[in-house]
Structure 1
């Protein structure tokens, strides 16, 4: 276990050159590319360092954006001893050793910055073990996670730490990183301008991945710069970040749903395609599209539900990949359809009223009287058969006798609901006339 907490770099030999990513590791926070929202003068870390008061931190962000590098440089900036562990390989006995070493170090006048990679992998008991050492100053905790800390970390750890979000590197950030790599290697990549852009896209915001790709490209023996197609044949594109059961799954379905609700077919198709490329089950998407039709379009376009059902059925008949086209067409239809949540809101309001008045019986005049006794009790007495009434509308009250008439459904002036609004107004007018008569 001694190597697990060793922060000294192993000696390099001529036969074991340092990887490019290691050689280009920033030596100060000012050299870090990107993350200005955290490192800038007015950003959280910049303010902490300027005031000389650094608190425990949780870095949340995707791989390859500088979580480990920034943690190491924070230790240098604050003159703390840097210790790095991974939650994947560290158990409770290992943690005890870390805490004991930090206590001895503190007694000798040296503080410890403990960097915990994949901190969300620790269970509740392991996370709780950090608390007393954070509170008495034995360690300054800097955790790193790719998962949403509000879901994965204990409330106690969260309350004692500041969460800082590190973002995917932009294409401009990746371009700066590539320029720095070419300066270190003293030559430019053998790529034309389009292929260079393609390489940055392949890295998908991951700086470590970009440097590894650059190292591969620089090792090629080519006479002329490669174009984008040639580059694509030589390199595998990085798999898109997508976890079908994790946070990314919920983020992307939320993006798809809100793009449909916002009547943007292009954005909706993009998120739909992102989920398919990530390996999402098309049947899950078919079910969610049907939900969108019911929840966000509803009676503004009653045909939307049929479109989704037919698209789902088409997928089941055709299978992949042809069947996804039917689902894509449903996405476009839903995005361009008129929107209304009037039915959804009416349903929720009616459910709430039902919960509050769940024991109220229907009025007697709309109850059947299958027995003589029930007829004698007034069941069904005074019921007006609507088909016998003028305009086929009796205007009778169908709410419980003790419950005032309540308006739940308020159709919008969009799509087919515009016609329904006219019908509602028509029956309200007739009802008022019947009550006056």
Structure 2
């Protein structure tokens, strides 16, 4: 590793970052990925058979993807070549491929590690296919984004996807312990502050070591930081979250499902995380309105009113005051009785509407503004419901060729219980009034 930094132009007196000094030198030293590098891990088994194959390493930042790629090259005695999709173009790829071909003719195979591989466009991704197929390179791509959405199907069919997990508290703790051994001194933190530092890392091992370095730099002789002191020293680390990518979709999905599952505490947690990460409050407000319609519906019609009121309140108050209105709406919708009966009914009605096409409604319910339309029977025999007993005529409103359909089935929860009783009552009246003598 020292040679690597000297070649990069770093002098002897330049201190290497702690995260680099602690970079594992064997797969056994990689923490938090036992499902891959443990005794029965996927990579362990591949190396035992000496048949690595091309791989896509998918996981959050700081979970060891680059380190594992380097170690795999060492374990398989392959030449390690690294490029980044952010800084490389077609010309760079051609040069790398030509060098790999020449190396192969000389009897040395190449492991090509492509960082941020999802940044390559579709055509650039396709350029890897020939050199993967003929064995010129063993491709290992690293990505923080879901490969199913970001990588070509042809590329995915030629590579195995291995999922790297965010580091849990135990794995972060092992990293911090190793850092203390390397530094030869304990972290100047109380037990609670140490746990808080691990939480600040958000599952990112590299970030946890960077934070540890900041603590050591800031501590005066004999000083030990509590949680407040830690927060003052390291300020605040921005959460790992990209509003246009996986973090955004994962958290809004978690928020929606927590609301649907009637768990206001989990829903508040995800709401707070998204707001803390800089998500648009109005995006969240729109989604809460959707939840009120989709998952509560008429079981509690007030949920939609409150969700809309929260949106208006945020528009009026702004941040941070308006965030409380969003929290109120999330709690209300999460604790409301649930029904997706309207959602299900609307989907079924749409499907039938597309299938039925342009069937004409029955003429008796249509207006007849012209003489010709009256002659054609428009409006004939229409019964004005308000003039009927119980303000209900029971006549048919569907196109005649369709016959009566049933989409909406209220549940036995909340206000829909009352709606269900009304519909059952109307069904009995309809049957009675349409019964042929």
**TM bracket, shorter-chain basis:** over 0.9
Provide the residue aligned with 1:299 in structure 2: 298
Is the Cα–Cα contact under 8 Å of residues 148 and 247 in structure 1 kept in the other structure? Answer: yes
Which range moves more in the overlay, 30-39 or 14-23?
A: 14-23
Provide the residue aligned with 1:387 in structure 2: 386
In 2, distance between residues paired with 1:212 and 1:363?
73
In 1, distance between residues paired with 2:181 and 2:248?
39
In 1, distance between residues paired with 2:241 and 2:54?
29
1:290-309 deviations in Å (ceiling 9; x for gaps): 11111111111111111112
In 1, distance between residues paired with 2:214 and 2:350?
62
Provide the residue aligned with 1:408 in structure 2: 407
List alignment gaps of at least 5 residues for structure 1: 1-6
Provide the residue aligned with 2:182 in structure 1: 184
Provide the residue aligned with 1:50 in structure 2: 48
In 1, distance between residues paired with 2:142 and 2:176?
25
In 2, distance between residues paired with 1:375 and 1:127?
66
Residues 92/392 of structure 1: CA separation in 2 closer, same or farther (3 Å cut): closer
In 1, distance between residues paired with 2:259 and 2:396?
39
In 1, distance between residues paired with 2:404 and 2:220?
82
Which range moves more in the overlay, 66-75 or 385-394?
A: 385-394
Provide the residue aligned with 2:433 in structure 1: 434
Which range moves more in the overlay, 410-419 or 345-354?
A: 345-354
Alignment of 1:231-380 (within 5 A): 231-380=230-379
In 1, distance between residues paired with 2:11 and 2:348?
73
Is the Cα–Cα contact under 8 Å of residues 204 and 238 in structure 1 kept in the other structure? Answer: no
Alignment of 1:69-218 (within 5 A): 69-218=67-216
1:105-137 deviations in Å (ceiling 9; x for gaps): 212222111111111122222222211111111
Which range moves more in the overlay, 242-251 or 39-48?
A: 39-48
Asked if residue 10 in structure 1 is aligned to residue 9 in structure 2, the reply is no
Which range moves more in the overlay, 226-235 or 15-24?
A: 15-24
Shift of 1:276: 0.6
In 1, distance between residues paired with 2:380 and 2:85?
74
In 1, distance between residues paired with 2:169 and 2:371?
83
In 2, distance between residues paired with 1:186 and 1:27?
20
Which range moves more in the overlay, 396-405 or 376-385?
A: 376-385
Is the Cα–Cα contact under 8 Å of residues 79 and 111 in structure 2 kept in the other structure? Answer: yes
Which range moves more in the overlay, 106-115 or 334-343?
A: 106-115
In 1, distance between residues paired with 2:201 and 2:379?
74
Give the count of matched residue pairs.
431
Which range moves more in the overlay, 8-17 or 427-436?
A: 8-17
1:300-333 deviations in Å (ceiling 9; x for gaps): 1111111112222222222221111111101100
Shift of 1:43: 3.3
Alignment of 1:59-78 (within 5 A): 59-78=57-76
SS state of the match for residue 423, structure 1? Answer: helix
Shift of 1:420: 0.3
Instruction: Normalising by structure 1, report the TM-score.
Output: 0.94
List alignment gaps of at least 5 residues for structure 2: none
Is the Cα–Cα contact under 8 Å of residues 112 and 140 in structure 1 kept in the other structure? Answer: yes
In 1, distance between residues paired with 2:193 and 2:90?
48
Is the Cα–Cα contact under 8 Å of residues 190 and 222 in structure 1 kept in the other structure? Answer: no
Which range moves more in the overlay, 90-99 or 162-171?
A: 90-99
Is the Cα–Cα contact under 8 Å of residues 311 and 326 in structure 2 kept in the other structure? Answer: yes
In 1, distance between residues paired with 2:185 and 2:259?
47
Provide the residue aligned with 1:3 in structure 2: none
Is the Cα–Cα contact under 8 Å of residues 395 and 434 in structure 1 kept in the other structure? Answer: yes
1:88-118 deviations in Å (ceiling 9; x for gaps): 2222222222112211221222211111111
